[in-house]
Structure 1
Amino acid sequence: MEIKLKYGIDNLLFGMKEQDVIKVLGKPDTQYKDEEENVVFMYNARKLRLILYKEEDYKLGYITTSEPSAKLFGTTLIGKNWSEIFPILEKNKLKAFETDTIEGMMSYFNEDNWIFFHVDYNEIVKVEVGAVFSDKDDFDWKF
């Protein structure tokens, strides 16, 4: 499962509608609406959570994964030490990270690519990627 910065993951592209996602992955194991009325698809075996934004006519705008096969720049992420992955990110020009700590879990966020790495006990446990904005402050949909 390859993370494609600013585009999505594998064949899932930011901007897909509900029926497009279902064509690629099938029906979700769980579907619900969050507090903002966005549609959330959960795929348990794939360890994927997809958010389709209500304000954007239910387009896919956010993906969360803890799937061990998730890769970025050809390198698997989940379960790897942050200190092992960070040099690979730097080499690929992902250098500017905002950090936050909640209950001992570190989060590293790169706004230009809208990607979060959640690190617990120095291991990456979850990755979140989102659609980015264009120069006009609109989403830069890829589908």
Structure 2
Amino acid sequence: MKINPKNGVDQLLFGMKQSHVEAIYGKPSKQFKDEDGNVIYLYNTEKLRLTFYEDEAFRLGYIITSNEEAALLDKKVMGKNVTEVKSELPFKSWEQEDFDSTENHFNESNWLILQSEFDVIIRVEIGAIIKDNDEFDWKFKA
């Protein structure tokens, strides 16, 4: 499962509609709306959480995965030491935020979060990039 910074994960591209995603993965294991009216798809087998933004015509804008096969720039990251992974990536600017036993390591230029617990990566979050004019840089062109 390849994580493509600024683009998406595997065949999923930021900007896809729910029908495009369902053509690839089928119906989600679970679906619900969050407090902002966004549609959330959960795919249990793939360990994916997909967010379709309500205020962007329900385009795919955010992906969270804890899939053991998740690879960032061709390197598997789940269960790996977060400090080592960050040192091997070409992204050098990281902000860290602590939450009890977990930490979020955020790289804004790629809208990428490596979430760690006990110094190992437990999930990766990636979001669509917002351009200078405050519009999303949608990668999927329907």
Relative to the length of structure 2, the TM-score reads 0.97
1:126 and 2:123 are equivalent in the alignment: yes
- Unpaired stretches in structure 1, ≥5 consecutive residues: none
User: How far, CA to CA, are the matches of 1:84 and 1:95 in structure 2?
Assistant: 12
Other-structure match for 2:67: 67
- Secondary structure at 2:110's aligned position in 1? coil
Compute the displacement of 1:13 (Å).
0.2
Compute the displacement of 1:88 (Å).
1.2
User: How far, CA to CA, are the matches of 1:105 and 1:126 in structure 2?
Assistant: 11
Other-structure match for 1:102: 99
Compute the displacement of 1:96 (Å).
0.5
User: How far, CA to CA, are the matches of 2:4 and 2:102 in structure 1?
Assistant: 25
Map 1:12-27 → 2, pairs under 5 A: 12-27=12-27
1:138 and 2:138 are equivalent in the alignment: no
Compute the displacement of 1:104 (Å).
2.5
Compute the displacement of 1:67 (Å).
0.4
Map 1:44-63 → 2, pairs under 5 A: 44-63=44-63
User: How far, CA to CA, are the matches of 2:112 and 2:104 in structure 1?
Assistant: 10
Letter paired with 1:11 = Q
User: How far, CA to CA, are the matches of 1:115 and 1:86 in structure 2?
Assistant: 11
- Unpaired stretches in structure 2, ≥5 consecutive residues: none
* Matched residue count: 140
- Secondary structure at 2:83's aligned position in 1? helix
- Secondary structure at 2:24's aligned position in 1? helix
Percent pairwise identity:
44
Map 1:30-45 → 2, pairs under 5 A: 30-45=30-45
The runs of 4+ residues in structure 1 deviating greater than 4 Å are none
Compute the displacement of 1:84 (Å).
2.1
